[in-house]
């Protein structure tokens, strides 16, 4: 018997539901970490948070608060959520220009630009899932004096839905993924935890 694509998809998601222990909540941070490092994602999602120990993270927060001081008055902070396959997706957007329908995302450096781009696309997806059409994103690197416009396509939505299901499976895995031994590791807040034995 040959199944239609929609039936196969329903079956596969049904199998994954078995692995989702409870209603899971995912954020843009999960998407970012999925792109950067599966180990970091697994540790973060399983309650091991190291950002509070990182000077780089503290510097990024300070940059976020001081780069565009006039924005807090001009733009709105919004929170959105949606549910996909029993997984609650949430997003907190610090700077949203409701008049122009633009999400502004500020980052310290462009070392993990792909992850930053997908984080903004995740926000745009949440907008789409909440029937807010025509929004766009702007990724800003104040220290580099660079801006990048982010658009969103149907292919991006399909990719993010696939990523969400992969993240759900990864989070519930019993074994933490291995170290990635990448150049970026040395500036990661999890570095000492990951490489303690080396």
Q: pLDDT confidence of 112, banded at 50, 70, 90?
A: confident
Please, what sign has the CA dihedral across residues 55, 116, 21, 172? negative
Residue 143 inside a domain? The answer is: yes
Phi, psi of 76 (to 5 degrees): -105, 145
pTM for the complete prediction? 0.79
With H, G, I as helix, E, B as strand and everything else as coil, classify residue 170. helix
The verdict on residue 18 lying in a domain is no
Q: For residue 8, what pLDDT is reported? A: 39
How do residues 147-169 score in pLDDT, each as one tens digit? 999 999 999 999 999 999 999 99
The domain that contains 167 carries what CATH number? 3.90.320.10
What percentage of the chain has pLDDT greater than the value 90?
A: 51
The answer to whether residue 3 scores a pLDDT higher than 70 is: no
Task: Report the C-alpha gap between 20 and 165 in whole angstroms.
Answer: 10
Asked if residue 17 belongs to a domain, the reply is: no
Whole-number pLDDT of residue 9 = 44
Does residue 54 lie in a domain region?
yes
What domain range is 70 assigned to?
A: 28-194
Report yes or no on 162 lying in a domain: yes
> Which pLDDT does position 22 carry in this prediction?
58
Both tokens of 31, joined, read: 């998407």
Residue 91 dihedral angles phi and psi, to the nearest 5°: -155, 135
User: What b/e string do you get for 59-81 counting C-beta neighbours within 10 Å, with b at 16 or more?
Assistant: ebeebbeeebeebeeebeebebe
Res 80: pLDDT: 95
**For residues 3 and 78, which has the higher predicted lDDT (pLDDT)?**
78
For residue 9, is it within any domain? Answer: no
């Amino acid at each position: 018997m040959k199944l239609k694509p929609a039936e196969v998809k329903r079956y596969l998601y049904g199998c994954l539901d078995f692995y989702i222990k409870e209603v899971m909540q995912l954020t843009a941070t999960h998407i970012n970490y999925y792109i950067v490092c599966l180990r970091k994602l697994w540790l973060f999602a399983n309650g091991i948070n190291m950002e509070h120990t990182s000077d780089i993270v503290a510097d990024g927060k300070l940059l976020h608060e001081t780069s565009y001081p006039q924005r807090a008055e001009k733009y709105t902070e919004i929170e959105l959520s949606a549910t996909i396959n029993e997984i609650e997706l949430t997003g907190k957007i610090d700077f949203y220009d409701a008049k122009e329908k633009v999400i502004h995302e500020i980052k310290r450096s462009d070392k993990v630009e792909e992850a930053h781009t997908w984080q903004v696309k995740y926000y745009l997806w949440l907008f789409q899932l909440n029937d807010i059409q025509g929004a766009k994103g702007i990724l800003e690197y104040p220290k580099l004096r660079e801006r990048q416009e982010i658009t969103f396509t149907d292919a991006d939505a399909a990719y993010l839905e696939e990523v969400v299901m992969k993240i759900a499976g990864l989070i519930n895995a019993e074994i933490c993924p291995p170290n990635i031994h990448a150049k970026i590791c040395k500036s990661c807040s999890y570095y000492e935890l990951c490489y303690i034995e080396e």
